[in-house]
Amino acid sequence: MSSFEHATEFFHACESLKGWQGCQQYVADGASFVAQSEPIADITSVEDYCEWMAGLGNGPLAGCSYDLHASAWNEANQTAMFFATFNGKHTGEGGPVAATGKETLSHYVYVLKMDDSGKVAQMTKVWNAPWALAELGWA
């Protein structure tokens, strides 16, 4: 399987709320995570991000989904990019406030730097969290 295929499998596993258990086979040991976006700015590992996504989607935003719009592969940099929209409605337990019944359609991008073995070595998420949080009634 190519690095881009591994990146694509990782993207779908993470967005399908498989958590670390379902994502770890695609990720290098110690893979780092970065985002300039609250509430995930303090997450520093891909493992922790996968668990955060699973908790969000199996808790306050149960039943959430995503639509993948485009993906790209840069061979020279061994980097994959995925542009998608997250669809979630706050009807489940948890979250910063009681269930609001409000929903968000929030655009985001994953940038995945792959290592020589074809696994995710570094992940960046580009996301306008204030937009999503406001739509959900959380901000």
**Cα–Cα distance between 34 and 120 in angstroms, integer?**
13
Domain 3-136, what fold?
A: Nuclear Transport Factor 2; Chain: A, (3.10.450)
Position 91 scores a pLDDT of 94
* Residue pLDDT, tens place only, 42-96: 999 999 999 999 999 999 999 999 999 999 999 999 999 999 999 999 998 888 8
Of the pLDDT bands very low, low, confident and very high (cuts 50, 70, 90), residue 102 is very high
Helix axes 46-57, 3-15, angle to 10 degrees: 40
In our burial notation (b when 16+ CB lie closer than 10 A, e otherwise), range 123-138 reads bbbebebeebbebbbb
**Cα–Cα distance between 87 and 129 in angstroms, integer?**
13
Tell whether the model's pLDDT for residue 123 goes beyond 90.
yes
DSSP labels, 34-57: E-SSTTSTT--BHHHHHHHHHHHH
Cα 39 versus chain centre, distance: 12
Q: Is the pTM of this model over 0.85?
A: yes
* Residue pLDDT, tens place only, 4-51: 999 999 999 999 999 999 999 999 999 999 999 999 999 999 999 999
Structural domain boundaries in the chain:
3-136
Q: Tell me which residue has tokens 């009807």.
A: 91
Tell whether the model's pLDDT for residue 133 goes beyond 90.
yes
Position 17 scores a pLDDT of 97
Position 59 scores a pLDDT of 94
Tell whether the model's pLDDT for residue 1 goes beyond 90.
no
**Cα–Cα distance between 42 and 34 in angstroms, integer?**
8
